[in-house]
Structure 1
Amino acid sequence: MKFSMIFEAQLADPTVEREHQLLRDCVEQAVFAEEMGFDRIWAVEHHALKWYAHMSAPEIFLTWVAARTTTIRIGHGVVCMPFNFNHPVRVAERAAMLDLLSGGRLDLGAGRGGTEQETSLCGVDRDRTTQEVEEALRIIGQAWQKDELEYEGELLRIGPHPVLPRPRQTPHPPLFLACSRAETLTRAAELGIGALVMGFAGPEAVGQMRAAYDAARAARSGDSFVSTAVNDHFSVLCPTIVLDDGAEARRIGTRGQRFFAQAIGHWYGGTGVPDEAVVEGADEAAEMRKAAEQVVARLHEHDIPVRPNATATFNADHAYGTAEDAIAHVKRLRDAGADEIMCLVQMGTVPQAACMETLRQWGEKVIPYFRETASRETASRETASQEAASRGTAR
């Protein structure tokens, strides 16, 4: 199992000074994550989402981090692939350059960037985003495997051109798709690409999503693959704050997640601006429930069906507490089918000190627990295999 962290560059009570410090803090966390033994960092791409994500140019952020690190993998989680955000050939060029200069450490995820706030900024046709994302993946999958790209699809036609440079990884960096619903998981499997599962609903829901992904993998024919290089990696979001004081970690984590959930509700569902006030001694679990009830009331008001995803972000059953609490939660995610635990630490109201301490606790206690367990299991299997071989020889 792999361990990573994802950066949204979330910011409560945004000012220019706080924004600038936030991005420097994210770099500090990413560099420290390598020291603490994390396998990968991911960076999102969002545009014009005040009170939510200020990570508008992840290719710059990831390049800066790559230059300051040596081993940790660098992931786009994700590039907004509709053409008016990023032309597919430009994505391929930038990604290959970063993969080359980082020594082959890049992973490339795709997503829609589908909020009205973002699509209206860049003139994106919201009705075509899903189709454009898939066509972009097909173009990128081909661009890196031919001396000259020539493509004729339903939406784009590209005459013969070399796409330069070629990436370090052969034939190209692993491809992923952001997935929050069974339909997108099924499509990711059919396309032959990994899943970045952004669900908040908990390990049971992760298990159901893994089952949907695996069922689609088992049923696929390969006709829809976007590349000859198939990636079946299943990465799962894990909000987490870990401190020696478990109660304080839960308070900070739940407060940060409430801000995150309210920000998502604001930009994706038209609810109010996130509540930025932090009241000392507040019952954060109660405040989380209250915020979820407000979202449900808003949906009822507009006669919009209340689906499970509508309130999933308000589920606070995550890796908040002590290292032992985090280990117990990660076990549940592992058993649900996670190939990778994608830690969400940097939430809008979480202080930098709590972020750094969380990374230290994961690096010193949580990650080693699972790596040592895996080593023992491997050694046990090898011993059993050797003993079986010896018995066979003796006969």
Structure 2
Amino acid sequence: MIREIPRMWEQKDYSFEGNGWSVPGPHNILPKPYGVGHPPIWVACGNPETFAKAGSLGIGAIAFNFEPIHNLKGRLEAYKEAAESPVEIIGQFQNNNVMMTNGVICLEDRDRAREIAKAQGRGYLVTMVNLYHDTMPKSPDGITWPNAPASTLIEWTDEMLDQIIEAGYMLCGNPEEVSEQLEAYQSVGCDQVVFGLPIEGMQHEEIKEMLEIFGDQVIPEFDKDPVHSTTRMRETAKPKYPAFTSELPEEVNEVTIIPDSAILPLSA
């Protein structure tokens, strides 16, 4: 299936016949990607074999860290090793990228950030992730929905929170602390880190504050290039398929008048 996506993006008379699904053609699959190339292609990864497979196909790897961040180093190395000599590039360009997903609470007031992290009732999102991402390695004591998260059963201490932060399960503190915590991701070979918002227990104004200070004080510490890495990759894109798989009828090539219906204003 994944090999068909770039063909859908490029061709205007797409068709496919397979065992599990088919697109009787010809069909012009819309919308087409805007600009140079196409959006980067990613695959969700958990097992070492999937990381290596993604690297060998020239596509990006997205993952959650259900275990201490340094435990992921071997998987990320497997991806990077395969990405050095991919056996196939699925899309128009290689998306040599490992992206990790995590949670962050970054405020100027570190005490308030830690207070939110220790609040009772947080963690339901993680129990849902443990339920649905059942092919990914996770902690033996990981709690799965509908069981209540640990924050409803115990009272979090500063020592417990420090252990969670040190292991890389979440980022928490002021901008300087969060920047230091992000270095652990960089050290194991992670290219990008993304965060889910809003964090349970945060007020609207606190979320706005976090977005601003993370963008102003944390991101510049790691991303020195004003051009996004994906933009640079897309600039190298090379089409792989002809726009039409079949030769167009001769009369189509002779059309010189644009139908009125093709230039009607959107309000019509």
TM interval, short-chain normalised: 0.5 to 0.7
1:283 corresponds in structure 2 to 156
Separation (CA, whole Å) in 2 of partners of 1:351 and 1:181: 36
Q: Does the 8 Å CA contact 1:185/1:195 hold for their aligned counterparts?
A: yes
Relative to structure 1, is the Cα distance of residues 331 and 212 closer, same or farther in structure 2, using a 3 angstrom cutoff? same
Match of 1:205 in 2: 71
- Partners of 1:347 and 1:242 lie apart in 2 by 11
Structure-2 separation of matches of 1:213 and 1:276: 33
Note if 1:354 corresponds to 2:206. yes
2:16 is aligned, of 151, 156, 166, to 151
Separation of aligned partners in 2, 1:216 and 1:254 = 40
Residue 260 (1) aligns with residue 125 (2): yes
Instruction: State the one-letter code of the partner of 1:191.
Output: L
Worse overlay, 149-158 or 319-328: 149-158
Indicate yes or no: 2:148 matched with 1:274: yes
1:114-133 alignment to 2 at 5 Å? none
- What is the CA distance between 1:352 and its match in structure 2? 2.7
Are 2:60 and 2:98, in contact at CA under 8 Å, matched by a contact in 1?
yes
1:176 maps to 42
Query: Aligned with 2:34: secondary structure?
Result: coil
Q: Distance in 2 between matches of 1:271 and 1:229?
A: 39
Deviation at 1:286? 7.8
Q: Does 1:247 align with 2:145?
A: no
Report the Cα distance in structure 1 between the residues aligned to 2:185 and 2:128, rounded to whole angstroms: 25
Query: Residue 338 of structure 1: CA displacement?
Result: 1.9
TM-score normalised by the chain length of structure 1: 0.46
C-alpha distance 356-263 of structure 1, shift in aligned 2 (>3 A): same
**Quick check: 1:259–1:276 contact (8 Å CA) kept in 2?**
no
Gaps in structure 2 of 5+ consecutive residues: 135-142, 227-268
* Residue number in structure 1 paired with 2:172: 320
> TM-score, normalized by length of structure 2?
0.65
Q: Partners in 2 of 1:285 and 1:261 — Cα distance?
A: 20
Gaps of 5+ in 1: 1-134, 289-311, 376-395
Taking structure 1 as reference, are residues 231 and 153 closer, same or farther at Cα in structure 2, changes over 3 Å only? farther
Amino acid at match of 1:229: F
* 2:115 aligned counterpart, secondary structure: helix
CA deviation string 1:117-139 (max 9, x = no partner): xxxxxxxxxxxxxxxxxx1x222
Q: Per the alignment, do residues 277 and 172 of structure 1 end up closer, same or farther by CA in structure 2, a change over 3 Å counting?
A: closer
- 3-state secondary structure, aligned to 2:123: helix
Q: Deviations over 1:170-190 (max 9, x none)?
A: 332211112222232222223
- Once superposed, what is the RMSD of the aligned Cα atoms? 3.5
Q: Is 1:187 equivalent to 2:53 in the alignment?
A: yes
Q: Counterparts of 1:302-381 in structure 2 under 5 Å?
A: 317-371=169-223
Specify whether residues 165 and 285 from structure 1 end up closer, same or farther in structure 2 by C-alpha distance, changes over 3 A only: same
Larger RCO: 1 or 2 (CA < 8 Å, sep 6+): 2
Is the Cα contact below 8 Å between 1:197 and 1:235 reproduced in 2?
yes
Task: Give SS of 1:177's match.
Answer: strand
Residue range with higher mean Cα deviation, 171-180 or 350-359: 350-359
Work out the percentage of aligned pairs sharing the same amino acid. Answer: 21
Change (3 A) 1:317 1:163: closer
Q: Aligned pair in 2 of structure 1 residues 164, 283: CA closer, same or farther (>3 Å)? A: closer
8 Å CA contact retained: 1:263, 1:273 = no
Change (3 A) 1:158 1:278: closer
Q: Is the 8 A contact 2:100 2:194 kept in 1?
A: yes
Number of residue equivalences: 214
Q: Would you say the 8 A contact 1:251–1:284 is kept in 2? A: no
Q: CA, structure 1 residues 157+197, in 2 after alignment: closer, same or farther (shift >3 Å)?
A: same
User: What amino acid is the match of 1:274?
Assistant: A
Larger radius of gyration: 2
Per-residue Cα deviation, 1:289-320 (whole angstroms, up to 9, x for no partner):
xxxxxxxxxxxxxxxxxxxxxxx99x665320
